[in-house]
Amino acid sequence: MKKITLLIAFTLLVFCSGAQSVAFDFVVAADGSGDFKTVQEAINAVPDFRKNPTRILIRKGVYKEKLTLPTSKTNVAFVGEDRDQTILTYDDFASKKNRFGETIGTTGSSSFFVFGDGFSAENLTFENSAGPVGQAVAVRVTADQVSFRNCRFFGFQDTLYPQGNHSRQYYRDCYIEGTVDFIFGWSIAVFENCTLFGKQAGYFTAASTLPESKYGFVFLNCKITGEGEGTFYLGRPWRPYANVAYLNCEIGRVVKPEGWDNWGNPENEKTARYVEFGNRGAGAPTGSRVTWSKQLSEKEAAEYTLEKIFSAQSTSPAFDTDWMPELAK
C-alpha cells in the first residue's frame, strides 16, 4: 500500500454508486485493500481543524474499535459501503472496571465518542455489543452540527447519548434500538423519518434538556414500535425541564396509554416539557395521557421546523450561527 503523505496532498479516491461518482480522501478496509485497516487510523490521519470536509469511505466489515473523534478533527464525514454490513462496534459497559479498579461509568462505556464539530455519517451501523448489562452506550455526541443518515444504532440501556449541552444534531432515516432510556442527554436533536424499536420494556427517551433551550429531542414523522403491548413510555425526565416532542409519528401499541413517566418525582411534572401533535396508531390516543403532558395546537406545532429548531437562537447563550444540515436539503 502506498504511504500517504498528508503534508503534500490527499489521495483522490472514487467510489461508484449507480451513476454517481463521489471522491473520498481515505478508504478504510479491514482486508487491507484501502489506505487504512482501522477507522481510528483514518481519524488520526485527518489534519486538525480542517474547514473543508474530509470524506472517509468505510468498506464492508465489522470494525471492533473504541473510537474517538477529537475536537480537532472537524468536518469529518463517514460513509459506509453498506449500512447493514459496515459495523462499528465495541463492548464496554458502565460497571466494567479500568486497570485501576475503577468503574468506567456510563460515559466511559461509549463505543464511539464524537467531539469534532461538523461530523456526519451515512450508511453505517453503530453498536454497543455488551448486551443487557446495564448502561452501555453505542454513540456519545457532544459536538455541534452533527448529522446521521441511514444509520443503525444498536444497544440495550442508554444506546444513544446526544450529550452536548450546546449541541445540535440531526438524524434522518435511522433505526435506533434499545431498552431503558435508550435516547438520553442534553442536546437539541431532531429525528426525522426514523424508527425507534423498544426491546423488552423501558423508556424511549430520558432527556435532560437545559431550561434555556427551546427544543430538546424532536421526533418528526417517526415510527415508534417495539416488543409487547404497553411496555414502554415515550419518555421520563432525567433532569428537570426535559423537553421532548413527537409530531406526526406512528406510535404503536408498545406505548403505554399514559405516555409519560415522572421518574418517581412529582416535582418533575412542574418543569417537564412533553408535547405531542398529529400522531397516529394504537399508542397515539391521548385520552389517558398524563395531565402534565401537552397536546400542541396547529399554531404551536408550526414552530417545529428545522430552521427554527437549529437556529442560533434556539438556546441561550446563542449558537454562533444558524445551521441547516446538508442531509436535510
Catalytic annotation present for 144: no
Catalytic entry in 158, 261, 320, 322: 158
Catalytic annotation present for 158: yes
* CA–CA dist 174, 162 (Å, integer): 15
The cell 434522518 sits on which residue? Answer: 172
Q: List all residues 6 or more positions away from 130 whose beta carbon is below 8 Å from its beta carbon.
A: 91, 92, 93, 109, 136, 155, 156
Q: Could you tell me which residues are beta bridge partners of residue 169?
A: 146, 189
Label residue 14 exposed, middle or buried (CB < 10 Å: 0-12, 13-18, 19+): exposed
**C-alpha cell belonging to residue 140:** 456519545
Catalytic entry in 25, 181, 261, 320: 181
Q: Could you tell me which residues are beta bridge partners of residue 126?
A: 88, 153
* CA–CA dist 296, 289 (Å, integer): 13
Q: Which secondary structure element, helix H or strand E, spans residue 300, and what is its range?
A: helix 298-301
Q: Could you tell me which residues are beta bridge partners of residue 208?
A: none
> Annotated active-site positions, please?
158, 181
